[in-house]
Amino acid sequence: MRTVYVNGDYVPETEARVSIFDRGFLMADGVYEVTSILGGKLIDFEGHAVRLQRSLDELEMRSPISKDDLLEVHRELVRVNDIDEGMIYLQITRGAPGDRDFAFPDPETTTPTIVLFTQNKPGLADSPAAKKGMKVISIEDIRWGRRDIKTVQLLYPSMGKMMAKKVGADDAWMIEDGYVTEGTSNNAYIVKGNKIITRALSNDILHGITRAAVLRFAQEAQMEVEERNFTIDEAKEADEAFITSASTFVMPVVEIDGIALGDGMPGRVAPRLREIYLEESLKAAV
């Protein structure tokens, strides 16, 4: 049985308790992070910790834990659960006032709730899906306007994933005003010639930690990166496409709305970027 962390305590998962008045539960008033573990070490902990703080700041929520202590909790959970490859999920909510109310509770009397748990995923890095590539469909992006804040408000992304599954695809890319924003739980890219094209950062998309690393590695490898909007039609005519996220790293996309890209197999750029990303991130893992 997993050992999880809840509000300062390490407990067996069946004994972890959160109040029914918790604002994460009632209002999706919470933020989260997912950090990957490879070789028993954390990938880009610093990036996730910085983005967590930014999400909290944007929602005027206090952090219940310091960055140093947060790192210790991550490490302890990896250790006690004996995780070699997998993820750590972290969630902080505005806490549990004594009742349901739209107004934020007084932060002096209602402390944030913090929960962390591990997900054991042996073979995460050497995934067969990365060799085959994935299929995506396009759906309308009807999410709220602050997608840069990593909130637990994930119902539409979850529905998008189900729309994809229903038609035999793996995920959905979301479209707003004709342009691709991002995947349901990942950032989206296309490749034209030697150019990697991805939407620029704004409130419209999550500022992916993997995105930042991959774009940096791509530039260091002399690949050309263009941060701009692209349409789904442009994507269907691209040489390659791929996604990035902390749990999938770099994953080739080989089909969009039933249209195969190139020969329908992963191309040159995405698999190479995956290789570089895994290699460099492992070197810097803590």
Positions touching ligand PMP (CB under 6 A) are 34, 182, 185-187, 206, 208-211, 244-246
**Least gap, CB of 11 to ligand PMP (angstroms):** 26
* Marked catalytic residue, from 150, 192, 195, 283: 150
Of the candidates 186, 83, 209, 177, the residue with the CA atom closest to the CA atom of residue 129: 186
Q: Which is nearer to ligand PMP, 144 or 260 (CB)?
A: 144
Of the candidates 235, 225, 239, the residue with the CA atom closest to the CA atom of residue 193: 239
Buried b (16+ CB within 10 A) or exposed e, 120-141: ebeebbeeeebeebbbbbbbeb
**Least gap, CB of 22 to ligand PMP (angstroms):** 21
The number of beta carbons lying within 10 Å of the beta carbon of residue 275 is 14
Q: Which is nearer to ligand PMP, 91 or 187 (CB)?
A: 187
Q: Which is nearer to ligand PMP, 182 or 255 (CB)?
A: 182
Q: Which residue do the tokens 């806490």 mark?
A: 95
**Least gap, CB of 205 to ligand PMP (angstroms):** 6
Report the DSSP pairing between strands 134-140 and 3-6.
Answer: unpaired
Separation of alpha carbons 18 and 42, rounded Å: 26
Q: Which residue do the tokens 């990697």 mark?
A: 196
Q: State yes or no: is 283 an active-site residue.
A: no
**Least gap, CB of 83 to ligand PMP (angstroms):** 18
Q: Which is nearer to ligand PMP, 214 or 261 (CB)?
A: 214
Active-site annotation, residues: 150
